[in-house]
Structure 1
Amino acid sequence: MSSPYLALYIGGAALAIGLHLALRHRRERGNAQAREEAAAAGLNEPASLHPVVSDSRCIGSGGCVTACPEGALGIVNGKATLINASACIGHGACADACPVTAITLVFGTERRGVDIPRVSPQFESNVPGLFIAGELGGMGLIRKAATQGVQAIESVRRRKAGPDELDVLIVGAGPAGIAAGLAAHERQLRYCLIEQEDSLGGAVYHYPRAKIAMTAPVHLPLVGKVQMTEVSKEKLLDFWQDVVGRTGLRLHFRERMERIERVGEGFVVHTSAGVHRARSVLLAIGRRGSPRKLGVPGEERPKVVYRLVDAEQYRGQHVLVVGGGDSALEAALQLAEQPGTTVQLSYRGASFNRVKPKNRQALEVSYRKGRLELLLETEVLAIHESEVELKGPEGLLSRRNEAVIVCAGGVLPIPLLQQMGIEFETKYGQA
């Protein structure tokens, strides 16, 4: 190669490398800033299962960043790191994508512990006959949660039920619960699957729209191998619904477990719909628990819900959103985009502190444009058929209302389970 062409080649290569390094440096600087903003907003603590990256092993390939649709991970100083820990939902796709196994999935942090129930290798708790599988037991991975549900049923089969009781009552219709129900159905056990909400999927149902929800194949009883290495939340939920329809899975929606009593060798389970007697109980519930309620008159009205599923269904209505977290702000912002919808956002605090900066900024823009009304330092007093009453710094308020969406978080089931005698251990950044 002649010297002019060699110089041109070297110059082009140097330019390409320089441009790549400049772009990478800019991305890393943005990631570092995002991490600082998340820490300032109090969003740097993961909710449950999350990745810890080994600096000595990480090569900065970025595979984990690409595999994380929530944007929880980023490259800073050439290494992968959590830049928004609160966005992590524990599906573990990052660990699967790492080419050098530099990521370990753990529970809790050095400052904030996470309570995990003690279970045997057969997923039986310290209370004989009471089994735990899936997210409650710390397994957020869909494939492994489903596998745990099936394995727990194999243990249930060894406990012989009496003539007037179920072999197993399964609580929760997430991946672990559905898989367990399919296994019980296949084994011709007497079973019932109850779900406190009106939808399948458990925690998957609450994932962001179009989020990638499964990262590895899974084998399901009565169905076989499910080869969905990357599928959106919506497609996965449609798949679960189709499975229930094809198999005849015995499933009761809107039935909430309230307490469990030990009676003889089995259990009496009290729910919002009645009583079940079962020799074994499999808890396949999530860690979010039941929605935290306001405890005010009128909250039992059908117009009160605890999550926003589809903003379009509220088009042209007067809607009150209650809460001060990201879910409340995002719900209010989506509703404010609907034609003819009047939106109020009620929060007991004077400002929104623990929220993502982009949500806070979007809220300010929407408020300035008159798309929604902010009711800070207010509390709901009563919910009537066509209006709501609130109390604020200047006294009582009344607003016309056709729907109320409460985004106040969930009540963790841990105290209820401890009353049943289930033992927990607190993990501080441990697998």
Structure 2
Amino acid sequence: MTDLIIIGGGPIGIACGLEAKKKGISYKILEKGPIVNSLFNYPVNMQFFSSSERLEIDGIPFISNEAKPKRNEALEYYRRIVTSNDLNLQLFERVTSIVKVGEVFSVTTPKATYSARNVIIATGFYDLPNPLNVPGEDLPKVSHYYKDPHFYAGQKLAVVGASNSAVDAALECWRKGAEVTLVVRGPEIGRRVKYWVRPDVLNRIEEGSIRAYFNSTIQEIRQEQIVLDTPQGTVMLPNDFVLALTGYRPNFAFLTAAGISISEDEKKRPHYDPQTMETNVSGLYLAGVICGGMETHKWFIENSREHAKIILEHICFKVRAESSSRQTL
């Protein structure tokens, strides 16, 4: 039995572990993949929008070559925090269920079942891509994740989306020799695209280096072409690969199975008390981007790292209250 199990070994889960260790709370972090699994699966050349100091946790300095660090620097930073602080982090152990019986949680993985008085879910949202829901989406040529531009050199590539991930992929793959077409559901490139990148892609579109279809959607993906619905009508394009970078969503089924209430509107916000981060299930907390539901742009490392302190302060308050109650009895 531990005081706390933290589900998710990303930056916020690590921050929770550091805070638990400082406060003398027994804990265990369970991560389904490697350390900071989501960051590991980012594109190899990815550069953060935030500066390195805004990605710091627990006041530990993050030194990067540029003001805005890259993926490999972030992996090194968070890995060093885990190893130098000897955090109790168990890797490649995916949590499949959380069940509360009385005042104790049973947290189950394929390897074991653990008992804890409190649980923090800090799993982010990167696991479940938003589907296109079109014929051919299951073809091997289609991916919802982008890793390395070299793979697409010399290929006819369609990139679906207008966010940072889609724009970065389009530019990088074009620079490596891909013939890139952007398919954008809205009227323009997203306004949240990194300010130093947005002008770049707009210029490439204007000069014709990257072809773009706005107010358009993919209707069908075929082995050697894609079918677009555009303002000018149906367009068929020769195609080798499709990167459907249309965003991701939290695992709502996992949350509801644990008993957490989810709002019924399109935002699907999980219920929690912002003063404590505790959900409607006593002892079960949320931390990080998962708090935003479908509003995945609401929470980032820099504005959710404080969740660790809020949650652990509340857990310590409960521990002190229970200790005082036992002494009274």
**What's the TM-score once normalised by structure 2's chain length?**
0.54
Give CA deviations for 1:30-61 in whole Å, capped at 9, x if unaligned.
xxxxxxxxxxxxxxxxxxxxxxxxxxxxxxxx
Q: What's the offset of the Cα at 1:205?
A: 7.9
Cα separation, partners in 2 of 1:392 and 1:236, compared to 1, 3 Å:
closer
- Residue 157 (structure 1) aligns with: 2
Give 5+ residue unaligned stretches, structure 1: 1-155, 159-166, 220-225
Identity %: 24
Matched, 1:390 2:239: no
Q: Secondary structure at the match of 2:52?
A: strand
Root-mean-square deviation (CA, aligned residues, Å) is 4.9
Which whole-Å CA distance do the structure 2 matches of 1:423 and 1:182 have between them?
A: 22
**Looking at CA atoms only, which structure, 1 or 2, has the larger radius of gyration?**
1
Which whole-Å CA distance do the structure 1 matches of 2:135 and 2:115 have between them?
A: 35
Selected match of 1:285 from 85, 106, 123 = 123
Q: What's the offset of the Cα at 1:334?
A: 2.6
Which whole-Å CA distance do the structure 2 matches of 1:382 and 1:263 have between them?
A: 48
Give CA deviations for 1:245-284 in whole Å, capped at 9, x if unaligned.
896942128x5x787444454446688x899664343212
Q: What's the offset of the Cα at 1:322?
A: 1.0
Give CA deviations for 1:167-219 in whole Å, capped at 9, x if unaligned.
73x322222323556899999x7956234x77726579867259642469867
Q: 1 or 2 for the larger relative contact order (CA 8 Å, sep ≥6)? A: 2
Q: What's the offset of the Cα at 1:375?
A: 2.2
Cα separation, partners in 2 of 1:157 and 1:360, compared to 1, 3 Å:
closer
Deviation larger for 352-361 or 278-287:
352-361
Which whole-Å CA distance do the structure 1 matches of 2:35 and 2:224 have between them?
A: 27
Which whole-Å CA distance do the structure 2 matches of 1:397 and 1:292 have between them?
A: 23
CA contact (8 A) 2:219 2:229 kept: yes
- Residue 31 (structure 2) aligns with: 194
Q: What's the offset of the Cα at 1:343?
A: 0.8
Give 5+ residue unaligned stretches, structure 2: 262-270, 276-305, 307-329
Give CA deviations for 1:81-123 in whole Å, capped at 9, x if unaligned.
xxxxxxxxxxxxxxxxxxxxxxxxxxxxxxxxxxxxxxxxxxx
Deviation larger for 372-381 or 274-283:
274-283
Which whole-Å CA distance do the structure 2 matches of 1:290 and 1:172 have between them?
A: 15
Cα separation, partners in 2 of 1:218 and 1:370, compared to 1, 3 Å:
closer
Cα separation, partners in 2 of 1:385 and 1:241, compared to 1, 3 Å:
farther
CA contact (8 A) 2:171 2:201 kept: yes
- Residue 7 (structure 1) aligns with: none
Matched, 1:374 2:212: yes
Selected match of 2:61 from 216, 228, 232 = 228
Q: What's the offset of the Cα at 1:404?
A: 1.4
Q: Which structure carries more strand by proportion?
A: 1
- Residue 420 (structure 1) aligns with: 260
Amino acid at match of 1:399: P
Cα separation, partners in 2 of 1:242 and 1:326, compared to 1, 3 Å:
closer
Q: Count residues with an aligned counterpart.
A: 252
Matches within 5 A, 1:94-133: none
CA contact (8 A) 1:205 1:237 kept: no
Q: What's the offset of the Cα at 1:238?
A: 1.9
Q: Secondary structure at the match of 2:157?
A: strand
Which whole-Å CA distance do the structure 1 matches of 2:49 and 2:77 have between them?
A: 14
- Residue 208 (structure 1) aligns with: 47
CA contact (8 A) 1:333 1:363 kept: yes
Which whole-Å CA distance do the structure 1 matches of 2:143 and 2:97 have between them?
A: 23
Give CA deviations for 1:119-167 in whole Å, capped at 9, x if unaligned.
xxxxxxxxxxxxxxxxxxxxxxxxxxxxxxxxxxxxx834xxxxxxxx7
Matched, 1:347 2:174: no
Amino acid at match of 2:152: Y
Selected match of 1:318 from 156, 165, 188 = 156
Selected match of 2:12 from 153, 164, 176 = 176
Which whole-Å CA distance do the structure 1 matches of 2:190 and 2:16 have between them?
A: 41
Q: Secondary structure at the match of 1:176?
A: helix
Amino acid at match of 2:161: G
CA contact (8 A) 2:129 2:247 kept: yes
Cα separation, partners in 2 of 1:242 and 1:378, compared to 1, 3 Å:
same
Amino acid at match of 1:283: I
Q: What's the offset of the Cα at 1:379?
A: 1.8
CA contact (8 A) 1:317 1:403 kept: no
**What's the TM-score once normalised by structure 1's chain length?**
0.44
Deviation larger for 303-312 or 367-376:
303-312
